[in-house]
Amino acid sequence: MGRVTARKKSLIWVLAVPALVAYAPAQEQKDAAFSVESRLVRMLVTVKDSKGAVVGSLEKPDFTVFDSGVKQEIAFFEHHTAQPLSVALLLDTSASAAKDLKFALDSAAKFLQALTREGNPKDALTFFTFNHEITRQFGFTRNHDRFKQAAKGLKAEAGTSLYDALCFASEALEGREGRRVIIVITDGGDTTSYRDFHYTLRAAHKADATIYSVVVVPISNDAGRNTGGEHALIQFAESTGGKAFFQAVGPPLDQTFGEILRALRTQYLIGYQPKNLPESKDRFRRIRLELSKPGMTAATRTGYYQD
């Protein structure tokens, strides 16, 4: 679909947002605080048992939600939710990813086929590639041929604007019906973005997007790996209720996509309206989810920004 000019747009965003926060009138801040207790907070939840198997048989009473330490009433609950999926697939095409590019494209193509084979007929995928620039190859579609066409001629070169790519993907997901997911395939950290880690995480939370970080590990030991970048990808995933994977290409990467798809097909959707929250200067409200069944763990977002 064309290249996204990350540089000019990112400069506008980075300079404008702090100004809005710093000079917001008192009445606007009061209205923003009120909106925390009137908004609907959505949580996509993946539950696994002690053996790591996905569990889809729990019911509403099995979940308890705490917002800022205060127990909340669950307003609606769906298990095996059939709400449509909007998936933003991001593929690293920087120079360091060159040798694994073909294998990553093959696995992504299989994932798209599996995604559209069953589930909601409105499930759709949009595809971004990123190096020092971000290119949105096509908008949301179920058409496999669009992916095949986009994959032709892709080559790996230049640096890695990972954070910028995640921000543009989050923006593309905003307003989409149902569930919103980002899957990013990369071999390490950011080198050329204008946005930073915190701005990027905020953008993902604003979009209610769940991030699955798929790190294609070029080498098994720490020497030569971007461990700092890998840690950031883990944080993106854990904070939004997704998961970080560290895989080689080929069959292991296919298995990773299979695990992501199983989680997406077995998610619970929980919603609540925040009530009786304590005052806080921290703009990030923290969520805790407890399960009544022993031996089970839940992955979901860790919180949300109140503005």
DSSP 172-194: HHTT-SSEEEEEEEESS--SS-S
CB 211 within 8 A of CB 200: no
Total domain count for the chain? 1
Confidence (pLDDT) at 218: 56
Domain membership of residue 153 (yes or no) is yes
The top-scoring range by mean pLDDT among 37-46, 109-118, 290-299 is: 290-299
Closest by CA position to 141, among listed 127, 120, 156: 127
pLDDT, one tens digit per residue, over 175-184 is 899 999 999 9
**What is the 8-class DSSP label of residue 200?**
H
pLDDT for position 207: 96
Sign of CA pseudo-dihedral 59, 62, 68, 72: positive
Evaluate whether residue 236 is within a structural domain: yes
Residue 212 lies in a domain: yes
**What is the average pLDDT value for the chain, to the nearest integer?**
85
Q: What are phi and psi of 183, to 5 degrees?
A: -115, 120
For the chain, give me the number of helices (H) and strands (E)? 8, 16
Structural domain including 241 reads: 83-265
Residue 305: inside a domain: no
Q: Residue 17 is which amino acid? A: V
Distances (CA, A) of 149 to 152, 253, 294: 5, 22, 48
Q: Which DSSP helix (H) or strand (E) runs through 169?
A: helix 162-173
CB distance 287 to 58 below 8 Å: no
User: Which residue has 């290409």 as its token pair?
Assistant: 249
DSSP 250-273: SHHHHHHHHHHHHHHHT-EEEEE-
pLDDT of residue 28: 39
Return the pLDDT at 118: 84
pLDDT given at position 119: 84
User: Is residue 118 assigned to a domain?
Assistant: yes
Rounded to two decimals, what is the model's pTM? 0.85
pLDDT at 5 over 70: no
**Mean pLDDT (whole number) for 61-89:** 94
Residue 1 has pLDDT above 50, yes or no: yes
Domain assignment present for 9: no
What pLDDT is attached to residue 205? 95
Residue-level pLDDT at 22: 32
Structural tokens at position 233: 């990808």
Distance CA(92)–CA(230), nearest Å, equals 14
Residue 89 near residue 127 (C-beta atoms within 8 A): yes
Domain containing 228 — which CATH number?
3.40.50.410
Q: Does residue 43 sit within a domain?
A: no
Q: Are 167 and 202 contacting, i.e. CB atoms less than 8 angstroms apart? A: no
User: What average pLDDT does this structure show over 216-238?
Assistant: 74
Residue 18: the pLDDT is 31
Letter for the amino acid at 163? Y
Distance CA 177, CA 144 (A): 21
Interval 11-33: pLDDT, tens: 333 323 332 233 333 443 334 44
Residue 288 lies in a domain: no
